[in-house]
Structure 1
Amino acid sequence: MDMNPKIDYVFKVVLIGDSAVGKSQILSRFARDEFSLDSKATIGVEFQTRTVVIEHKSVKAQIWDTAGQERYRAVTSAYYRGAVGAMLVYDITKRQTFDHVPRWLEELRNHADNNIVIMLVGNKCDLDNLRAVPTEDAKEFAQKEGLFFLETSAMEATNVETAFLTVLTEIFKIVSKKSLIASQDQGNGNHASLSGTSIVVPGQEQDTTTKKKSCCTSA
């Protein structure tokens, strides 16, 4: 494990969607590579972190897990502030959770930054025999709204890594572009924020492309 404490970026990502769609399981799979069948409903808001390397920069993902129950929504709306990424999760076996996606998306766009990177996530793709939401429906919705889209299985660890890394990499590109423009605008030739020693971590570059499993890729 790399014990280097240097963090180049911290990105706040929120998980939203109806209760019991598997948001907490997706988070614990990504943050700790754990899955528990006894997972209890999230009360209010919890968050976990994980540090990844993107283009030789150390990126700390601070992922907030928001409770999906109605009575907590007034509480959690404050937590959209500062979020640069969002995972909007529904359960592929429960049509209602997908039907509520537009409402969650509207709330997110009302509270979050205009440039927020959003991934639509159809969770529980291991239960394909119980599917109530066709992949095409979700893909079509994501395309119309300009969202990334993947189907995942927190239980089988399918596409969870890919989903998070896709969002984090896209945020990284946006932030890097802003940094570059800012430093060019200053015209002082100081590119310190973008320079530094490149450290190649073997296998890290492939993470966003090689971990998709055949059962539920968005391709």
Structure 2
Amino acid sequence: MNNAELKVVLIGDSAVGKTSLFLRMKGDDFLDEQSPTIGVSCSIFPVSTEKGVVEFNMWDTAGQERFRIIVPMYFRKAAVILIVCDISLRSSFESIPEWVNLIRDKAPDDAKLIIVGNKCDLRNESSVSLEELCNMGEEYNAILTLETSAMNGIGIDLLKETIADQAFVVQSATEPSNKVDITTTETPKDKNKSCC
């Protein structure tokens, strides 16, 4: 089995459930009351997969407008960036293009995007539909677009597996190849030369 490490950054508007998602992915219990993140919160935790163990180096960023100026500094060496919206709060969905622009301007070119529609347990008539969410993901080339519920765990396993798979993609791309390329060139033998 292989071991790998991966930096993951969660971004999105305030109160969309980034911290609850962060805690749920770590294996912690859901908390009904959650204080807003001030600046950033970080945790390193292992995730076991069929391919091996991946150490998630996960960064939960503050979504308040006043902290947006510091969010890009956490993009450094990020392999996966999750934009989280609250499907019951359309304005958080409508701000996804702003977050994508921030990623395009400040994140590594090879960072992968995942769009997460959180709080699917709070679906109502004005909620963002799964189709709208998927269209947004397709428009911005997200490697995964899904609905989650940090409260009841919907989508958490798929999210963790998809992120973990990226660790092995990154690892295989950076490992040296075991193949050796031997090219032989024959030179015409000089008839006038001999070894004796």
Q: TM-score range by the shorter chain?
A: 0.7 to 0.9
Aligned partner of 1:164 in structure 2 is 160
Query: Shift of residue 130 of structure 1?
Result: 5.3
Structure 1 residues 110, 168: CA separation in 2 closer, same or farther (over 3 Å shift)? farther
Question: SS at the partner of 1:8?
Answer: strand
Bigger mean CA offset, 75-84 vs 170-179? 170-179
The amino acid of 2:5's aligned partner reads V
Structure 1 residues 54, 176: CA separation in 2 closer, same or farther (over 3 Å shift)? farther
State the superposition RMSD in angstroms.
2.0
Query: Shift of residue 110 of structure 1?
Result: 1.6
Question: SS at the partner of 1:183?
Answer: coil
Query: Shift of residue 7 of structure 1?
Result: 8.2
Structure 1 stretches lacking a partner, 5+ long: 1-5, 189-219
Query: Matched residues in 1 for 2:126 and 2:24: separation?
Result: 22
Query: Matched residues in 2 for 1:116 and 1:175: separation?
Result: 14
> Which of the residues 20, 24, 36 maps onto 2:19?
24
Pairing 1:72–2:61 present: no
Would you say the 8 A contact 1:117–1:171 is kept in 2? no
Aligned partner of 2:97 in structure 1 is 102
Pairing 1:14–2:9 present: yes
Written as runs of structure 1 = structure 2, the 5 A alignment for 1:32-47 is 32-47=27-42
Structure 2 stretches lacking a partner, 5+ long: 182-196
TM superposition score normalised by structure 1: 0.76
Query: Shift of residue 40 of structure 1?
Result: 0.2
Query: Shift of residue 169 of structure 1?
Result: 0.7
Query: Matched residues in 2 for 1:50 and 1:97: separation?
Result: 28
Structure 1 residues 53, 168: CA separation in 2 closer, same or farther (over 3 Å shift)? same
Written as runs of structure 1 = structure 2, the 5 A alignment for 1:81-160 is 81-129=76-124, 131-147=126-142, 148-160=144-156
Would you say the 8 A contact 2:54–2:167 is kept in 1? no
Query: Matched residues in 2 for 1:7 and 1:73: separation?
Result: 36
Would you say the 8 A contact 1:117–1:167 is kept in 2? no
Count of aligned pairs: 180
Query: Shift of residue 133 of structure 1?
Result: 0.9
Aligned partner of 1:183 in structure 2 is 177
- Bigger Cα Rg: 2
Query: Shift of residue 184 of structure 1?
Result: 4.7
Would you say the 8 A contact 2:47–2:164 is kept in 1? no
Query: Matched residues in 2 for 1:122 and 1:131: separation?
Result: 14
TM superposition score normalised by structure 2: 0.84
Query: Matched residues in 2 for 1:35 and 1:174: separation?
Result: 31
Would you say the 8 A contact 2:4–2:171 is kept in 1? no
Aligned partner of 1:200 in structure 2 is none
The amino acid of 1:165's aligned partner reads E
Query: Matched residues in 2 for 1:45 and 1:130: separation?
Result: 33
- Paired-residue identity, %: 35
Would you say the 8 A contact 1:83–1:112 is kept in 2? yes
Query: Shift of residue 145 of structure 1?
Result: 1.5
Bigger mean CA offset, 46-55 vs 111-120? 46-55
Question: SS at the partner of 1:29?
Answer: helix
Question: SS at the partner of 2:97?
Answer: helix
Pairing 1:48–2:46 present: no
Query: Matched residues in 1 for 2:8 and 2:2: separation?
Result: 16
Aligned partner of 1:202 in structure 2 is none
Structure 1 residues 35, 131: CA separation in 2 closer, same or farther (over 3 Å shift)? farther
Structure 1 runs of 4+ with >6 Å offset: none
Question: SS at the partner of 1:10?
Answer: strand
